[in-house]
Amino acid sequence: MRVATVAAVEPIVERARAIAEDVLFPAAPDTDGAELLPVSHLDLLAREGFYGVSGPADAGGLDLDPPTTCAVVEALASGCLTTAFVWLQHRNPVRAVAASATPVSGTSGSPRCAPASDGPASRSPGTARGRRSFARFAAATA
């Protein structure tokens, strides 16, 4: 069941456009030439709730419909395709975790899809760089 309303959807698309224009596009040449994606880009997307675009509303996600999700992806990719590509790889794992009947290890229930606010993903020890934001995001509890 889709619960995102037009009022909830338009701000996330507009925010994606603003982030693309103000943050991602100016940094795109450096990002494309770097060996690693700046963790600050993923942290920004997490703080702004973009890891929850496909998460269920009852877990703090936006449960966006496919056309709106595409608009968010298009907006972010217009700023930096590299950042959008890495961020987009988290969409299906979020959906899988949210749909699972098995609680995420270390949580007492379903994971939250709300914006992360506990600091940079790079502070999460013992995980691969590309998995840090998702691991922190998925392990958050309501």
User: pLDDT for 55-86, tens place per residue?
Assistant: 888 778 888 888 999 999 999 999 999 999 99
Residue 1 lies in a domain: no
The pTM assigned to this predicted structure is: 0.68
Q: How many domains does the chain have?
A: 1
The packing angle between helices 132-139 and 39-47, to 10°, is 30
- CA distance readout (Å), 27 to 20, 83, 111: 10, 10, 31
Residue 47 lies in a domain: yes
* CATH (domain of 132): 1.10.540.10
What gap in Å lies between CA 14 and CA 95, rounded to an integer?
Answer: 23
Domain hosting 74: range is: 6-139
What gap in Å lies between CA 74 and CA 107, rounded to an integer?
Answer: 33
Please tell me the least confidently modeled range out of 7-16, 22-31, 56-65, 122-131.
122-131
Predicted pLDDT at 3? 45
- Helix (H, G, I), strand (E, B), or coil: what is residue 42? helix
Residue 26 lies in a domain: yes
pLDDT digits (tens, 9 = 90+) for 99-124: 777 765 555 544 555 555 444 443 33
